[in-house]
Each structure stands twice: as structure tokens, then as C-alpha cells.
């Protein structure tokens, strides 16, 4: 997959362009043939889905917005959102792996990297030869990222990193880590620097895999830095401006998580529709009962609205304008819709929905984290309020 998106949809009451529809069909067909059949396996085993990643790399899905000359597909954020939605509709763990690679991994390099850094790392990431992770969160700093304690100190030609990170998606598969550390915690966000750290560097270890409720194959681990030497040229962006890189990366990341949530919600509706037409009670399909229809309708209406909010955030990003508010609004709403849709899908399935025989219990577990990672719903509300009051 490699193309330049020339045709843009106009306004928000739109149909996708032919280019975007092509991407949607291609990824939908691929995901239902290759990703969906293995989603339960990866959920059960928590294995990092290398087979999925390899196939997605062949299709250009590991570097959707990276320019073609740097090995990417050179597409826009709307295409990226469609890709993440379709992947997540089949396998939400694979969805977040792809989202982190594209947004939290590649975006900071594209936006803040030097020419050398871009040439060295982006082609490897965009071609899926190396997986990326984003290390911001720490045991003591989740929502309050600026209070991080991981230290960085310049010693001659190297920065030296010491500290701990946790809940780092992609860690078991990643070889490139975008790591945030502070010169001095008292400087709060003004002391934070961003580094490109490679797996295998002395003093850097990936901890044990975390057993999570959902997206269980997302390779989530803690990281430890003990006098880890990072070459000076691997500082990303300007010293002391790492927090802005982190926040801008999260703006793009939140569009990806909104897309993941829409994908999970759509999968919930797909399953609820299929099951309600098959399942007979009181001598008719349960889809004929209006109380069941009410749940299906609520899901369908909310998913439509969520998808429009997602597309709006992606289009705003593509326009080059600030899209912090739209990204947080989309993430907040789409993740709520994913949770409600997954709950409704379980309810439509009754007792079977509560068992591992059907995928809807997995969708419910997967949906929950979309309200937590890349900023909790409460943090999205805070960001939206600040943006509203700033206008
Ligand atoms: N873009 C650019 N700059 C931004 C920005 C943005 N979106 N948001 C804030 N900034 C800038 C501000 O302008 C300010 O700059 P100045 O000093 O020049 O004025 C600076 O950053 C500090 O901003 P705030 O005062 O707003 O910072 P804060 O400490 O109050 O924090 C926050 C704001 C919104 C709460 C932020 O800390 C936040 O988003 N927290 C949630 C963190 C999060 O999402 N963590 C998830 C990590 S990733 C993950 O989930 C796991 C994974 O692997 C996928």
C-alpha cells in the first residue's frame, strides 16, 4: 500500500473519497481474513502477534503517514484512522500495536527528528522491521506526566538515564523506544527531554510482561534504566522541550485510540446483529423483539456519531491546524461508545455473551482500556475544558 491521497472529502457531511474507500476495503478484507481468526489465540496466549505485524508491514500499515521516500505509505491521518479502525475491528491488540507504532513511535521522529535521525530510524519503523514503543508513564506518574522521576544527565558525549517506566505498550516486540526523562524533577515539564533508545543498550532492560484485562497481546511491560548511556545525537528535539513532544505525540495517539474504539464498537455491533438474527426464543429470532432492537439501534447511532467525530479529528490534523480539542473529544466519546456497545453486545448474547465461546466478552475487556490509556477519560475532559476556556 503506497499512495498519495489527492482527493479530499469536503466538509463533515461526507462520503469517503474513492482512495479512502479503497484503503478501507483493502484493510477490512485483510483483517477479516488474517487477523480476526487469530484474535482469540493472541488474547489467550498473550503472545506478541508477529505474524500479524509481518503481514501488515507487507501492506504498508506500519508506516501509514510516513513519507514514501522514508519507506512509508505517504497517506493522511484520515487513511490512518480507517486503517486502525479496521484492524481493531478484527483484533484490538493488533490495533493498538499498529497505532503506537504509527503515532507515538513514528510521529515524534517525523515532527522533531533531525535528517539523520529520520533516515536512520523511520524506514526501519515504517517497513515494520523494527517495532517502536513510547515510554512516558512511570509507577508514580500516570496522568501527571510532568512529575516523572526518570533522570537524564549529560556526561560528555552521552546522556545517562536512570529510572523506571511502566505500562509501556509494544515493549516485548519493540527495538526502538521513545523515552522521556527529566534533567531535574523540580523543573517540572520544562526539564523533560526526549530520547531515542535502542533495545540491547547497556543499562536498559525490559521487565516482565504485564497480565492485563484486555489487549493482552500488546506486549505491555515495565522498563528499567540503570546508568543507561544514550549517545548525544539520540536526543530527540530540543533539550527541555520533551514534554511538548510527548503531548503532541499524544494528540496524534488519541486519534488512533479513538479509531481503535470505533473498531471495537463496530465489532460489537457486527456480533450482536449476527447473533440476534440466529438466536431463537419464544419461537422467533430475538432480533424481532423491540427491546433487543433498541440496543442494536443505540449501538448503530452512537457508532455513526463516534466515527464522524473520529474523521473530524483526523481531518483537522490533516489540515495542519491544532487539533488537541478534537482529538480528546473523539477519544473521550469513541471510548465511551465502545464500552456501551460491548456491554450491549454481551447483553444481546445473554449467557453466551458471558462465555469464551463468543468474542463479545473479549470486546468488553478490550474496550475498557480505551478509556484509560493515552490519557484517561478524566484527563480528556480536563484537556477539552482547557481548550474551551482558551478559545
Ligand atoms: N501540544 C503542544 N504543547 C502542549 C500540549 C499539546 N497538546 N499540551 C500541553 N502543552 C504544553 C503547554 O502549552 C505548556 O507549555 P508552556 O510551558 O510553553 O506554556 C506545557 O506543555 C505544559 O502544559 P500544562 O501546563 O497543560 O501541563 P500539565 O502538567 O498541567 O499536564 C495534562 C497536562 C493534559 C494533564 C498532561 O499531563 C496529560 O496529557 N496527561 C496524561 C498523560 C497520558 O496521556 N499518559 C498516557 C501515556 S501513553 C500510554 O497510555 C501507554 C502506551 O504505551 C500507549
pLDDT digits (tens, 9 = 90+) for 236-279: 999 999 999 999 999 999 999 999 999 999 999 999 999 999 99
Catalytic residue among 85, 302, 361, 374: 374
* CB 179 within 8 Å of CB 165: yes
Indicate whether 3 pLDDT > 90.
no
| Nearest-angstrom CA–CA distance, 40 and 36 | 8
Q: What is the CB-side half-sphere exposure of residue 126 using CA atoms within 13 A?
A: 26
pLDDT band at 72 (very low <50, low <70, confident <90, very high): very high
| CATH H superfamily, domain 244-390 | Butyryl-CoA Dehydrogenase, subunit A, domain 3 (1.20.140.10)
| Nearest-angstrom CA–CA distance, 155 and 232 | 9
Average pLDDT on 205-213 reads 95
Sign of CA pseudo-dihedral 326, 327, 328, 329: positive
- Ligand 1 pocket, mutate which of 103, 145, 192, 249 (most atoms under 8 A from CB): 145
| Nearest-angstrom CA–CA distance, 370 and 366 | 8
Please state, as a whole number, how many other Cβ atoms lie within 10 Å of the Cβ of residue 175: 17
Average pLDDT on 143-171 reads 97
Give pTM, 2 decimals. Answer: 0.96
Q: Which atom of ligand 1 is nearest to the CA of 383?
A: 34
* CB 348 within 8 Å of CB 272: yes
Mean pLDDT over all residues of the chain? 96
Domain 133-242 class in CATH: mainly beta
How is residue 57 annotated by DSSP?
H
Indicate whether 11 pLDDT > 90.
no
Q: Specify the higher pLDDT residue, 15 or 4.
A: 15
Among protein residues, the one with the nearest Cα to ligand 1's atom 9 is 247
Question: Counting runs of H as helices and runs of E as strands, what totals does the chain give?
Answer: 12, 10
* Ligand 1, pocket residues at CB < 6 Å: 100, 134, 136-137, 143, 145-146, 167-169, 189, 243-244, 247-248, 250-251, 324, 373-375, 379, 382-383
Domain 18-131 class in CATH: mainly alpha
Can you state the percent helix, strand and coil of the chain, rounding each to 5? 60, 15, 25
Indicate whether 139 pLDDT > 50.
yes
Sign of CA pseudo-dihedral 310, 312, 316, 319: positive
Domain boundaries along the sequence of the chain? 18-131, 133-242, 244-390
The pLDDT value given to residue 7: 53
C-alpha cell read off for 82? 480507517
Per-residue model confidence as pLDDT tens digits over 211-241: 999 999 999 999 999 999 999 999 999 999 9
Q: Which atom of ligand 1 is nearest to the CA of 134?
A: 53
* CB 316 within 8 Å of CB 323: yes
Indicate whether 379 pLDDT > 90.
yes
* Percent of all residues in the chain with a pLDDT value above 70, rounded to a whole number: 96
To the query of whether residue 374 is one of the catalytic residues in this protein, the response is yes
The pLDDT value given to residue 10: 46
pLDDT band at 12 (very low <50, low <70, confident <90, very high): low
Indicate whether 186 pLDDT > 60.
yes
Where does residue 11 fall: left (phi above 0), alpha (psi -120 to 50 degrees), or beta otherwise?
A: left
DSSP 216-236: TTS--EEEEEEEEEEEGGGEE
C-alpha cell read off for 231? 549517545
Q: Which atom of ligand 1 is nearest to the CA of 257?
A: 54
How buried is 97 (Cβ within 10 angstroms: 0-12 exposed, 13-18 middle, 19+ buried)? Answer: buried
Give me the count of residues in the chain: 391
* CB 64 within 8 Å of CB 102: yes
Indicate whether 5 pLDDT > 90.
no
The pLDDT value given to residue 372: 98
Average pLDDT on 166-171 reads 98
The pLDDT value given to residue 15: 85
The pLDDT value given to residue 279: 98
The pLDDT value given to residue 4: 53
- Ligand 1 pocket, mutate which of 104, 243, 366, 380 (most atoms under 8 A from CB): 243
| Nearest-angstrom CA–CA distance, 357 and 339 | 20
Amino acid at each position: 500500500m503506497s499512495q498519495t491521497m489527492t482527493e479530499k472529502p469536503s466538509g463533515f457531511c461526507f462520503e469517503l473519497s474513492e482512495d479512502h474507500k479503497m484503503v478501507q476495503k483493502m484493510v477490512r478484507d485483510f483483517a477479516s481474513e488474517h487477523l480476526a481468526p487469530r484474535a482469540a489465540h493472541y488474547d489467550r496466549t498473550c503472545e506478541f502477534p508477529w505474524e500479524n505485524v509481518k503481514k501488515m508491514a507487507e501492506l504498508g500499515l506500519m508506516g501509514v503517514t510516513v513519507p514514501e521516500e522514508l519507506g512509508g505509505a505517504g497517506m493522511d491521518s484520515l487513511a490512518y484512522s480507517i486503517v486502525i479502525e479496521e484492524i481493531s475491528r478484527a483484533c484490538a491488540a493488533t490495533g493498538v500495536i499498529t497505532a503506537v507504532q504509527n503515532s507515538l513511535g513514528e510521529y515524534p521522529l517525523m515532527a522533531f527528528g533531525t535528517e539523520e535521525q529520520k533516515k536512520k530510524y523511520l524506514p526501519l519503523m515504517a517497513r515494520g522491521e523494527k517495532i517502536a514503543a513510547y515510554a512516558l508513564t512511570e509507577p508514580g506518574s500516570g496522568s501527571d506526566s510532568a512529575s516523572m522521576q526518570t533522570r537524564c544527565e549529560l556526561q560528555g558525549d552521552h546522556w545517562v538515564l536512570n529510572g523506571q517506566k511502566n505500562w509501556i505498550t509494544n515493549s516485548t516486540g519493540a527495538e526502538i523506544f521513545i523515552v522521556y526523562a527529566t534533567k531535574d524533577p523540580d523543573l517540572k515539564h520544562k526539564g523533560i527531554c526526549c530520547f531515542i533508545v535502542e533495545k540491547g543498550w547497556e543499562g536498559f532492560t525490559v521487565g516482565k510482561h504485564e497480565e492485563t484485562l484486555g489487549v493482552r497481546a500488546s506486549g505491555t511491560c515495565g522498563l528499567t534504566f540503570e546508568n543507561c548511556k544514550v549517545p548525544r545525537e539520540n536526543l530527540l528535539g530540543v533539550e527541555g522541550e520533551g514534554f511538548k513532544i510527548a503531548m503532541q505525540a499524544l494528540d496524534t495517539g488519541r486519534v488512533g485510540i479513538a479509531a481503535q474504539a470505533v473498531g471495537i464498537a463496530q465489532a460489537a455491533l457486527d456480533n450482536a446483529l449476527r447473533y440476534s438474527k440466529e438466536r431463537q426464543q419464544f419461537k422467533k429470532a430475538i432480533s424481532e423483539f423491540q427491546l433487543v432492537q433498541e440496543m442494536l439501534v443505540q449501538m448503530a447511532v452512537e457508532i455513526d456519531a463516534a466515527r464522524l467525530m473520529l474523521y473530524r479529528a483526523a481531518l483537522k490534523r490533516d489540515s495542519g491546524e491544532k487539533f488537541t480539542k478534537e482529538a480528546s473529544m473523539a477519544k473521550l466519546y469513541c471510548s465511551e461508545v465502545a464500552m456501551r456497545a460491548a456491554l450491549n453486545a454481551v447483553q444481546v448474547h445473554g449467557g453466551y455473551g458471558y462465555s469464551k465461546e463468543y468474542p463479545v466478552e473479549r470486546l468488553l475487556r478490550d474496550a475498557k482500556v480505551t478509556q484509560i490509556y493515552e490519557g484517561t477519560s478524566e484527563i480528556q475532559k480536563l484537556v477539552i475544558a482547557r481548550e474551551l476556556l482558551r478559545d
